[in-house]
Structure 1
Amino acid sequence: VEVMYGGPGFAYVFLIYGMYNCFNVVTREEGTPQAVLVRAVEPMEGFNLMSQNRFNKPSNQLTKTQKKGLTNGPGKLCKALVIDKCLNGEDLCGNRLYIEEGDYEPFTIVAAKRVGIDYAEEAKDFKWRFYIKDNQYVSVK
């Protein structure tokens, strides 16, 4: 949790349920602990390597369901991209783990209620879950 207090642009990686890594991007200034959970990504390259990491087989041997489920959840994307606690605190402007802008077609962003947080009382209904409309790598729409 300490990394969240250190300022924006760093990876915050934590383990949930004792088995799944979750990748977050720290977003606020030093001393203000806030981060965004990356719930899914659309693979643009490296599909075969991610397939090996997740399913231990090449991408041409994946079923349609496995292809769609390759990175459509926080734990799945961490396994596919080999993101674990060793990358906690990593500078996202560095060489090991980074986010880059790519070529893309225009898209519509959807704001929705968060998933799996019924314990959060009134915050469970906040529309703090954002995704690209009709993207096949979004698990819950």
Structure 2
Amino acid sequence: MESKRVPYNEKKFLLALLEEYAEENGYEIQNLERYRFSAISIAPLSQKIRELLVEQNGVTSSNINFWVQEAVARGHVTQHSSANFSFKKAGYEKALEYKNPFKTIYRAHASKIYIAILVAIAGSLIKLILG
């Protein structure tokens, strides 16, 4: 009997991984590929993501392998074995985007924001001078 699959939730999954990674390594990227997440001992992840555990006919099963496979397909993690996987830089950066969306938008558009501010200041100065 196949267990019920819950659709992959990229945001929840990557944020849970980021939280676990940051508890051990902070936000440094030097250990991204060395730090291993466990696909077997999923208690820490399942406490953060209830959808990972599914009960069907009185039997509890895990969606972790399905979610890891989807994250691998999207280029967010590398699966080293059926038992463990690690962040890829792209997955780590995507998780940071979910954690700090305004910071990501600011970084992407900072030059445009500065130009808009300078144009506004210049316009105000011209109005003051010409008056």
Q: Same fold (TM over 0.5)?
A: no
Shorter chain as normaliser: what TM range? under 0.3
TM-score, length basis structure 2: 0.26
Higher relative contact order (CA 8 A, sep 6+): 2
The two structures have a TM-score, normalised by structure 1, of: 0.25
Structure showing the higher helix proportion among its residues:
2
More strand by share: 1
Choose 1 or 2 for highest CA Rg. 2
